[in-house]
Amino acid sequence: MLIACLIGGFMKKRYIMSPGPVEIPPTVLAAAALPIIHHRTPEYRKAFAEVNEGLKYVFQTQNDILIFPAAGTGGMESAVVNLLSPGDKIIVAAIGQFGERWAKIAEAYGVNVIKVFSEWGEGSEIKKIEEALAANKDTKAVYTTLSETSTGVENDIESIAKVVAKTPAVLVVDAVSGMGAIKFKTDEWKVDVVVVGAQKGMMIPPGLAMVALSGKAKALLPASKLNKYYFSYEQALKALTKEKLPDTPYTSSVSLVLQLRESIRLIREEGLENVWARHAKVASAVRAGIKALGLKAFAAGTPSNAVTSVCMPEGLDGDALNKKIRDDYGITMAGGQGKMKGKMFRVGHLGYTDRFDAVVAIAAVEMALCELGMKIETGKGVKAVIEELLKK
């Protein structure tokens, strides 16, 4: 009975199509049932080492990657407290709610934040970042976002990195909803710090934050005076390189790490390029369906292949649509965040997602719009999805 409740009852199949948490592949779910290994054993250290190596492939880096039991935001906070001192100057290039979170965290710690905020729906203007860096030569770091989950926009990290790499500042990227979904090359693009969460493209349950650190970023650690204890990179790095096999300073999230080992295995098996191509295909199909329904995409900049944000038609509330799809159809999508609450809905298509998820998502949106009284030609959205999926 309890299980029936959790999975939505026998007669209602549940889907999770939110931009995180995402659905978990069956073998990754099964990995959670493995017995707990004590975290100070060679057996666990071996698994942890394997996960570390695997993450380097997913992140496309040779840099060290630290793993903390935390929400993605914990990883973000760690990237503030370890690199900076009170009064330090940083640039936050935000393109939505999550980017603006960088500024909130930094301000909470007394950091001097220069805000290069874009209009919601747009990506960062590279020129503005360049100008801010030129006007503030003492900038310690630039913080930005890869896939802005609140607006459905993909930011041009490669171009931003080109600008930042020419200066003494480090580039810190929130890739929480982008990693494992859209193209990202940490080393080739010269990204210094990459923060990733568990419950998005990495396809495991919530609870892990991963942080990759370049040499340029590591050089900032000794001088950083912001308060920290649990999130100390210096402590975590020591444990990572202490012996032949890596470790964590405090108790590791054993089960989540074992699940991560399995999800990385799946990503390797498919191949990262194919993972990115699959996301691109599903995303283009969802966008085609939305367009065919006469709805407007919110992302005016490059749309993210991880999440599609859609403006609500005149007179309809995004939250009402979202609620109907969730409560009546059993499909969890997402509404608008922050100032866009009620004005949009968002379809997540990242991680364990495939072509037919696009059909389900658009069918649900179409049906809900009909039930909420919008006049649409039924089948139009789904037809466009299928046509897009059939394109070679």
Ligand X SMILES: *Cc1c(COP(=O)(O)O)cnc(C)c1O
Please report, as ranges, the residues that interact with ligand X according to CB under 6 A: 19-20, 71-73, 98, 145, 147, 149, 174, 176-177, 197, 206
Q: ∠ CA(53), CA(160), CA(180), 5° rounding?
A: 35
Q: ∠ CA(295), CA(297), CA(298), 5° rounding?
A: 125
Of 307 and 316, nearer to ligand X (C-beta) is: 307
Amino acid in the structure at residue 261: R
Cβ distance 58 to 266 under 8 Å? no
| Residue number, nearest CB to ligand X | 72
Of 310 and 368, nearer to ligand X (C-beta) is: 310
Residue 110's CB is within 10 A of a number of other CB atoms, namely: 12
Please state the closest distance from residue 71 (CB atom) to ligand X, in A: 3
In 3-state terms the chain splits into helix, strand, coil percentages (rounded to 5) of 40, 15, 40
Of 177 and 214, nearer to ligand X (C-beta) is: 177
Please state the closest distance from residue 297 (CB atom) to ligand X, in A: 18
Q: How far apart are CA 15 and CA 333, in angstroms?
A: 9
DSSP classification of residue 182? S
Please state the closest distance from residue 295 (CB atom) to ligand X, in A: 22
Of 37 and 333, nearer to ligand X (C-beta) is: 333
Please state the closest distance from residue 103 (CB atom) to ligand X, in A: 13
Please state the closest distance from residue 342 (CB atom) to ligand X, in A: 20
Q: How far apart are CA 383 and CA 365, in angstroms?
A: 13
Cβ distance 206 to 9 under 8 Å? no
Of 69 and 197, nearer to ligand X (C-beta) is: 197
Of 172 and 288, nearer to ligand X (C-beta) is: 172
- Pairing of β 153-154 and β 334-335: unpaired
Please state the closest distance from residue 383 (CB atom) to ligand X, in A: 31
